[in-house]
Structure 1
């Protein structure tokens, strides 16, 4: 009932005074301009918040991920100590992926990864485990310092005693590649 009354009153006032109607149209135009300005401001503030969030996330990632890398290396070395050959293969595979530069290769050696890979190679009972260990050792051998550490750990005798595989020729290729690397470094491989 109140709505009906206000509707009749507003229509009565608008008909009676013609000067009010143009003012009302002008105010509706102002209202639309105000809405578009508010929408623009909201959009700009939204982008500002998104940029602040992205900057904060980048800063946190930049500070956090280097530590995560060391933990992953340590976990990968720890996987080499497990009895299950599947976990050993996963650890060796991860180490070969992480060993992309001399610094990381030496970090793997310092964490005991080279020695664990040699232990894994010496005790491996299947070709897939031998292949992953040899592949990781080949990746480590790209660094001269890592080759020296492998030599000191007795790698040549372990590699030579690794049985050849009739099923997987890659085992023999990796084995020959490692022995050639030791020969290139002037170590006696006989």
Structure 2
């Protein structure tokens, strides 16, 4: 059916949509469900492909680069970034090889500098936690001792709020004592 109306005395034809479909309502629902299912699979494949590409982009940053980035975070002035770097280093220090890699990259010295300059208990706790993880290796503990770790750890202020600071501090000093290094009283 066509409708006309006058606009500025020129007849204009308005098109009306026609229902040319001979399908009934059940067929339409089935077609819609099929289309939704296909679009859903397409979106899932698109997501999986994107996640794979992103994974391959970040994979090279694992290992040495990630340890180096964590050590670099210890150079930042913001205590939050220092805590994040120390926390990452504590997680990386799983075996002697990785512990020594952290020491070789300067992470042990930076953790000691972080501990020495820490103004809050959370920062001290993360530094002590990372140092404790590093000291599980005999070579790393020796490198810490040579860097003056005993004096820095001994001079760390006691915490009245965080018990873990005292626990890590005592654990580190005990580790150095077990390794026959001179521990200051």
Q: TM-score, normalised by structure 1?
A: 0.66
Which residue of 2 is the match for residue 83 of structure 1? 77
Which residue of 2 is the match for residue 20 of structure 1? none
Mapped partners of 1:140, 1:163: distance in 2? 21
Computing the radius of gyration from Cα coordinates, the structure with the larger value is: 1
Mapped partners of 2:60, 2:96: distance in 1? 16
Structure with greater proportional helix content: 1
Which residue of 2 is the match for residue 183 of structure 1? 177
Mapped partners of 1:110, 1:66: distance in 2? 20
* CA shift for structure 1 position 68: 2.7
Given the alignment of the two structures, is residue 119 of structure 1 paired with residue 113 of structure 2, yes or no? yes
Structure with greater proportional strand content: 2
Q: How many residues align?
A: 130
SS in 2 for 1:95: helix
Mapped partners of 1:123, 1:144: distance in 2? 26
Which residue of 2 is the match for residue 137 of structure 1? 131
| Runs of 4+ with >3 A deviation | 64-67
Listed as ranges, the gaps of 5+ residues in structure 1 are: 1-56
Query: Which of 130, 133, 154 does residue 160 from structure 1 map onto?
Result: 154
Mapped partners of 2:110, 2:60: distance in 1? 23
Which residue of 2 is the match for residue 149 of structure 1? 143
* CA shift for structure 1 position 69: 1.2
Deviations 1:102-149, CA, capped at 9 Å, x for gaps = 000000000000000000000000000000000000000110000000
Mapped partners of 1:174, 1:96: distance in 2? 12
Q: TM-score, normalised by structure 2?
A: 0.67
Mapped partners of 2:62, 2:94: distance in 1? 16
Q: What are the equivalent positions in structure 2 for 1:18-37 lying under 5 Å apart?
A: none
Give RMSD over aligned pairs. 1.6
Which residue of 1 is the match for residue 35 of structure 2? none
Mapped partners of 1:69, 1:144: distance in 2? 22
